[in-house]
Amino acid sequence: MNTSSPWTVLCVDGRDAQDFLHRQLTADIAGLVPEQCVQAGLCQPDGRLLATPVVCWLEGRLRLILPADLAQPVSRRLQMFVLRDDVQLSVSDVPCRPIEANHSLAAGQTQETTDGLQLSLAGDVPRTLQLGGETSNHIDVDTWRRQTIAAGAPQIYATTSGQLLPQSLRLDQLGGVSFRKGCYPGQEVVARLHYRGQLKRLLARADIEQGSCSPGETVQMDGRGIGLVVEAVDDAALVVVHQDALGGTGETIHGQLHIAERSLHG
């Protein structure tokens, strides 16, 4: 059982912090209030996701919750665009842990408790993170990943960074992409796909029938690459695959999985 926290929290402070993040991320950060959180995308110019941080307010400062192995690359990337903005980026010492789902908290909402700040994430089932404090209702990371598969709302890891568009992870359906805001890196590609394009790589659940799978592994079918594993536990996974691979059986370097017949895009 893995009980260590897989996340690092970045603090984004300064007079221009909210406007700065609004110009860098896919979501409407300008409208984010302290009672809300959102999983947003940080994109390359070609629209592919470098990271999908959960953004929230804590103690009057904006925080980005990221997989630990992406925290430094994301911090360096954002620092490149600070220029004359009054923005300071730093690694926070506030711990972040998954806890048992707070079913009374609506998706995208936050709640301060005596134990810390609880964040309810969007998805098909409730999931809750907690910033700060100590509590007895922590869940282990494997349980969190299983919840993420059930929620159909994966995050980007270092192994999947720079490979997928926001729509392929349903980020647009989960409130993480605003099509009414101004420019951000990759905005033209993301908007063009939304208004004119057809999504070719879809998010789907899969059953692991043999071996094991890990995020970042290529899914092959009949000797050709048809997709990518984005989340996995011992017997289940989330994959992004071509539409014609739905319902089929794919292979990874260490495993075999059966892909659901329907994608999670509705």
Confidence at residue 4, expressed as pLDDT on a 0 to 100 scale = 58
| Token digits of residue 199 | 């999504």
Q: What are phi and psi of 129, to 5 degrees?
A: -105, 155
223 CB contacts (<8 Å, ≥6 apart)?
Answer: none
pTM check: above 0.85 = yes
Residue from 44, 38, 97 nearest 63 by CA: 38
Confidence at residue 25, expressed as pLDDT on a 0 to 100 scale = 98
Tell me the CA distances in angstroms from 18 to 14, 85, 92, 238, 261, one per residue in order.
8, 11, 17, 32, 41
In this structure, how many other beta carbons lie within 10 angstroms of the beta carbon of residue 164? 23
Give the chain's count of helices (H) and strands (E): 4, 17
Tell me how far apart the alpha carbons of residues 251 and 266 are, in angstroms, rounded to a whole number. 25
Q: What are phi and psi of 147, to 5 degrees?
A: -65, -40
Beta bridge partners of residue 63, listed in sequence order? 11, 56
Tell me how far apart the alpha carbons of residues 219 and 57 are, in angstroms, rounded to a whole number. 37
CB 64 within 8 A of CB 14: no
Low-confidence spans in the chain with pLDDT less than 50? 1-3
Number of residues assigned to the chain: 266
Confidence at residue 85, expressed as pLDDT on a 0 to 100 scale = 96
Confidence at residue 137, expressed as pLDDT on a 0 to 100 scale = 85
Per-residue pLDDT tens over the stretch 94-111: 999 999 999 999 999 999
Confidence at residue 136, expressed as pLDDT on a 0 to 100 scale = 72
